[in-house]
Amino acid sequence: MSAESASAILKNQVDLLDFVDWSGVECLNQSTSHSLANALKQGYREDEGLNLESDADEQLLIYLPFTQVIKLHSIVIKGTEDEGPKTVKLFTNREHMGFSNVNDFPPSDTAELSPDNLKGSPVVLKYVKFQNVRSLTIFVEDNQSGSDVTKIQKIVLYGTTVETTDMKGLKKIEDH
């Protein structure tokens, strides 16, 4: 998808950060000093110095429950050129996954991040697969250079909520 149409579609999508249920957020294999908050929370994620880093090896498993059902359109993952994530698998509505069962069922979508994506260009997902999302699991399988530590600077999710669709937002669709 071209960058232009991606940004056009983004116009009616909102940042789903407000709908994340913080009490249930989990991240496996994160380093304690560089935790998930650095990549997700407003303010922290804008700070380039604060990253989410992996601990024992390069994989990360992030679990994000939402306070209401959402539709996920696209995702932005920002990271450094060599230690940023490469293969990212997304699973919807699976609670409490572990590293041992990530390969047990197919992901709802897989994204191979290019250096462009790592600079902030959004990855558009298969929208049809993300129509009814209560929770999202992000599995970072490896990173760009194959190093032992994966660093993620920012994660942004774009989409809409199912119940409360902003009517003003819908009007803005021009080319689709």
Partner 1 sequence: MVLEATMICIDNSEWMRNGDYSPTRFQAQTDAVNLICGAKTQSNPENTVGVMTMAGKGVRVLVTPTSDLGKILACMHGLEVGGECNLAAGIQVAQLALKHRQNKKQQQRIIVFVGSPVKYDKKVLEMIGRKLKKNSVALDIVNFGEEDEGKTEKLEALLAAVNNNDSSHIVHVPTGPNALSDVLISTPIFTGDGEGGSGFAAAAAAAAAGGVSGFDFGVDPNLDPELALALRVSMEEERARQEAAAKKAAEEAAKQEKGGEQQSTSQDATMTENVSAAAPEAENKTSDLMDDENALLQQALAMSMDGPAASLAVRDTDMSEAAADDQDLALALQLSVQDSTKDQGSETDMSKLLADQSFVSSILASLPGVDPNDPSVKDLLASMQSQPEASSDQKKDEDKAPNEEEKK
On whether the CB atoms of residues 158 and 86 are closer than 8 A, the answer is: no
Place of tokens 């709908």: 19
Q: How far is the CB of 72 from partner 1 (least distance, A)?
A: 23
Angle value at C-alpha 158, between 156 and 164, nearest 5 degrees: 130
On whether the CB atoms of residues 31 and 54 are closer than 8 A, the answer is: yes
Binding mask 16-35 for partner 1 (x = CB under 8 A): ------------xx--x---
99 is a site residue for partner 1 (CB under 8 A): yes
Q: What is the tally of helices (H) and strands (E) in the chain?
A: 4, 9
Candidate segments 84-92, 98-106, 118-126, 128-136, binder of partner 1 by CB under 8 A:
98-106
Among 47, 57, 112, 166, binds partner 1 (CB under 8 A): 57
Residue 83's nearest CA partner among 143, 141, 31 is 143
104 is a site residue for partner 1 (CB under 8 A): no
Q: Which positions lie near partner 1, rule CB under 8 A?
A: 28-29, 32, 55-57, 59, 95-96, 98-100
